[in-house]
A and B are shown apart, each in its own frame.
Chain A
Amino acid sequence: MWVFFMKGYNKAHVKFAYTALLPIFGLYLILRCWPILESFRLSFTNYSIISPNFSFVGLQNYLKLLSNDQDFRISLINTMLFATLTTIAVLLLAFSITLAMDRRKIKSIGLLQSLFFLPVVVSVVPSAIIWKWMYDPQYGIFNYFLSFFGIGTIGWLVDRSYSMYSIILFVIWKWLGYFMVIFWVGLKGIPGVYIEAAKIDGASNWKLTRFVILPLLKPIIFFSLVMATIKGFTIFSEVYVMTVGSQAAPGNMVKTLTYDIYERAFLYFRAGQANAEAVILFLIVLGLTVIQGKLVRKGELY
C-alpha cells in the first residue's frame, strides 16, 4: 500500500527503505506523537499526578484558563512580549552581523564566528547562572560598567522594570550564534552572479540587500522566523534559573506559559490544567507558524 507513494522506484528498495525506517518511526510515534495525543486527552481530565484517580471534566480546564485565570493571562502576555521582542531582536541582529561579516571579508572570520556561536554550545543552566552573577547588584559586571558613568546600582533581575528585559538580553546572547549560522548558510547559498549583476547595474548596498538578498533569503528567513518564534514561546530554563532564589527575578513579572505549565503540573499538581495550557500553547505556535508561512511565502519564492 505505502509503496504507492513512491512511484517510479524499485518496489523492493522502497520496501527495504521503509522497513529500515520502521524503528525510527516507531520511536517517533512513542516519544513524540503519543505524548502529544496523551496531553490532549489529559487536558479534558482533572488528573493531578499525585493521585492515580482522575475523571473526565470536559472543557472545564480550558474554560478556567480562558475565563478568569490571572496566572494564565499574565503568562500569555509575558510570553507574547518575550517571543516578539526576542524574535525581532535576534533575527535583526543575526542578519545584520552576518551580512556585515560577509561584506567585509574579514580575515579572522572563523574566530569571530566561533565567538558568536560559543554561547549556543554552552548549556542553558550554567550560562544563566553566570548571567545571574553578571546582573548582581553589588558585584555584577553591568553595574560595574555603569558606575563609570555615575549611574547607581540597578537590581537588574529583582527590579520589575528591568527583569523581563534582562532575561531577553541573556536570551539574545544565547541564540544569536545559532541564527547567524543559519543566515550565513543562506548568504553563501546565493549565487555570486546575482550580486555581481546587481552591482554592475549600480545597485547601492541597501538596494542590493532589499531587492536581491532578502528575496533570495525568504526560505531561510521563514525557517528562522518559525524557529525563533517557537523558541520564544517555549522558553523555560532561562526563566526558571533566573527566578530561583532570593536575589532572583520576581515570579509573575517574568512568568511565561511554559513556566506556568511547569508550576501547575509539578508544583500545584494540576496536571489536567497544565495539559490544557500546553494544548493552547501548541495551537498558538501552530497558528503563528501557519500565518508566518503565508506572509513570508506571499509573492514569489526563489
Chain B
Amino acid sequence: MKKMLFVLIFLIIVMVLALSTIFAAAPVTITLWTGYPERVPVYKAAAADYMKENQNVTIEISPFELRQSEQKFAISLPAGTGPDLFETSHFFAHLFIKNAMLDPTPAKVKEWLDKNFDPPYLGVFTEAGKIYAVPSVHGFQILYYNLDYYKEAGLTTPPKNFDELMAYARKLVKYDDKGNLIRSGISLRISGGGAGVAQKFESFLFPNGGSVIEPTTPGKFKANFANEAGYKALNFYLEALYKYKVDSFNIKHDSEAFVLGLTAQFNRETYVIGEVKKLAPGMNYGIAQIVGGDVQTATNLNVDGWIVPAACKNKDVAWDFVMYLNKDKYLVQMMKEVGWICSRKNVDYSEVYKSEPHFQQVLDRPEDMKMIPAPTAASFTEAYTKFSSRLVEVFADASMVDNKEKIMKFLEDGAKEVNDVLKSNDEYSE
C-alpha cells in the first residue's frame, strides 16, 4: 500500500512538473543594438520593467559608436548573425529594405503605428506602401543663439533671412587686440570627415530650393545644388570666412563652441538642448527656426527607427518590446534626461517643459516650416561624403568669394560627381 502511495505521489509530481514546463513560456532572449549610446539608460529602464512583467524574456542591450554600428548591421544582417532588434537612421534602413533583409511590420504593429505616429515619421520608413520600422527619435536643425551676446550687440529677435543672419554675425563677432577671432559670429561646419559637412550645408540650400540630392521619380534622384540655391549657400560660407571674417578655421566649432561661449549662433539638431543642459546649465540662450530663403522656410528631418530583421527568431516579442518602449514614461525620460525628441504623438511632456522650456518651443514649430527628410537613396552616404570632401576644399579657397563663375564651375563638377554616384547605383533620373 505504502509503495503504491509513493508511486502515485511520484507520478503526480512528475505530471505537475511536465505540465508546468509545457504551459510556462519558453525563455526568450532579445538582443538589441543601437548606435546611440547616450540613449541606453532609457532603454535599460524600459527593458528592466519589461523583463519584470515578462519573466521569460531577457533583453540584452549593446550600444556602439554610430558609424561602427552601421558597419556591424551591414556585415551581420546579410550573414544572418545580426541582432533581434536594432535602431538606425531612416536613410540607412533603406539599404536593408532594398536588399530584402527586413519584413514589413506585422498587421498589429501597423495598426498601432497608424494610430500613434504622424505620416512624415512613417513615410521615411515606407517602401511600396509597407512600413518597415517603428520611429524612435527624430531630429531637425534649428538656430541656437546666445541671448547674452545678442543683448550685448543690441539684438532682440532672431534673424529671419540670410542677409539678417550675416548682419547679426558681423555684430556678434569678437576679435582680440591682435585681430584674432575669439568669438565667431556664426559657427559653420567647415571641416571634418564623413557626410556631416554636406548635411549641415543643406540648411543653407533648402531655403532657396536646393538640396544635395532630391528625389525625381520613385527610387530615383539627382543632384540639386548646381544652381542659384547652391551659389547663395556656398557664397554665404565664403563671405563668412573671408569677406566678413565672422568664422574661421582657427576657432572651435559646433555645439562645443556654443557651450563654451566661443560662438554666438549656429544651426544644429534639437539634441543640443540636452547637451547645453548638461554642459552649460546656466546658459542664457534662445532657439528659433533656421532662417528662410526666397523659396521656403525649411529644415532637414532625420528619423531613427526600431527595426526587427527578417532573420529574427522572436519577432513578436521584439515588436512587443518596441511598442513597450514607446510608453509615455520612457519618451518623457528620453527628452528629460537625454535631450532627444521621440516621434510618437500625444505624449504629455508638460513635466519636461517646466524645467526646459526650449523643448516646447521646438515642438510648437510654425505651420509654414517645411521638414525635408534625408533622401532614402542607397547612394546617400557616398554622395554626401564625396560632396563634403569637395566643400571642405573649397571652403579653404579665399579666391572663390563672390566669384560666381568659379563657384558655379565648382558646383557643376560636384553635381556631376554626385550624379555619377547615383548612376553607379542605378538611382539616377533627371
Contacts and interface: CB of A to CB of B under 8 A. Distances in A.
B78 A136 contact: no
A250 interface: yes
B392 A51 contact: no
A138 B248 CA distance: 12
Nearest to B249: A155
B183 to A, nearest CB: 11
Interface string A266-282: 11111000000000000
A interface majority secondary structure: loop
B254 A158 contact: no
A2 to B, nearest CB: 37
A252 B191 contact: no
B382 A267 contact: yes
Contacts of A268: 381-382, 385
Interface stretch (B106-114, B192-200, B227-235): B192-200
A49 B178 contact: no
B27 to A, nearest CB: 31
Contact of B252 (A49, A243, A247, A270): A247
Contacts of B249: 155, 158-159
Interface string A217-232: 0000000000000000
Contact of A137 (B179, B251, B386, B417): B251
A160 B397 CA distance: 10
B78 A49 contact: yes
B331 to A, nearest CB: 28
Contact of A263 (B74, B250, B254, B385): B385
B390 to A, nearest CB: 8
B191 A250 contact: yes
Contact of B178 (A71, A150, A154, A248): A150
B196 to A, nearest CB: 7
Given A50-B74, A250-B392, A253-B392, A153 B250 contact: yes
A26 interface: no
A252 B393 contact: yes
A152 interface: yes
Contact of A251 (B78, B252, B385): B385
Contact of A160 (B252, B256, B260, B393): B393
A150 B179 CA distance: 12
Contact of B256 (A50, A153, A247): A247
B385 A247 contact: no
Interface string A235-277: 0000000011111111111010000000100111110000000
Given A49-B78, A138-B262, A268-B381, A153 B251 contact: yes
A8 interface: no
A52 interface: yes
A244 B194 CA distance: 8
Contacts of A137: 250-252
Interface in B32-51: none
Nearest to B195: A267
Given A138-B262, A152-B178, A154-B250, A248 B191 contact: yes
A277 to B, nearest CB: 15
A136 B193 CA distance: 17
Contacts of A51: 78, 99
Contacts of A247: 191-192, 252-254, 256
Nearest to A51: B99
A49 B74 contact: yes
B74 A269 contact: yes
B194 A158 contact: no
Nearest to B95: A50
Interface in B365-424: 381-382, 385-386, 388-390, 392-393, 396, 417
Contacts of B252: 136-138, 247
Contact of A269 (B95, B193, B390): B95
B193 A71 contact: no
Contacts of A266: 71, 74
Interface in A144-163: 150, 152-155, 157-160
A250 B382 contact: no
Contact of B189 (A136, A160, A246, A253): A246
Contacts of A267: 67, 194, 381-382, 385
Given A50-B74, A50-B95, A263-B385, A251 B192 contact: yes
B338 interface: no
B24 to A, nearest CB: 38
Most chain B CB within a 10 A radius of its CB, from A70, A248, A269: A269
B192 A250 contact: yes
Nearest to A138: B252
Given A136-B252, A158-B191, A249-B193, A49 B75 contact: yes
Given A50-B99, A155-B249, A246 B385 contact: no
B251 to A, nearest CB: 6
12 contacts: A71-B386, A71-B389, A153-B250, A153-B251, A155-B249, A246-B192, A247-B191, A249-B193, A250-B192, A251-B193, A251-B385, A251-B389
Given A52-B78, A152-B179, A247-B192, 10 more contacts: A50-B95, A155-B250, A246-B189, A246-B196, A250-B192, A250-B193, A251-B192, A252-B390, A263-B385, A267-B67
Q: Report the 7 A-B pairs with minimum CB-CB distance, sorted nearest first.
A: A243-B193, A155-B249, A246-B254, A250-B392, A252-B389, A268-B382, A251-B389
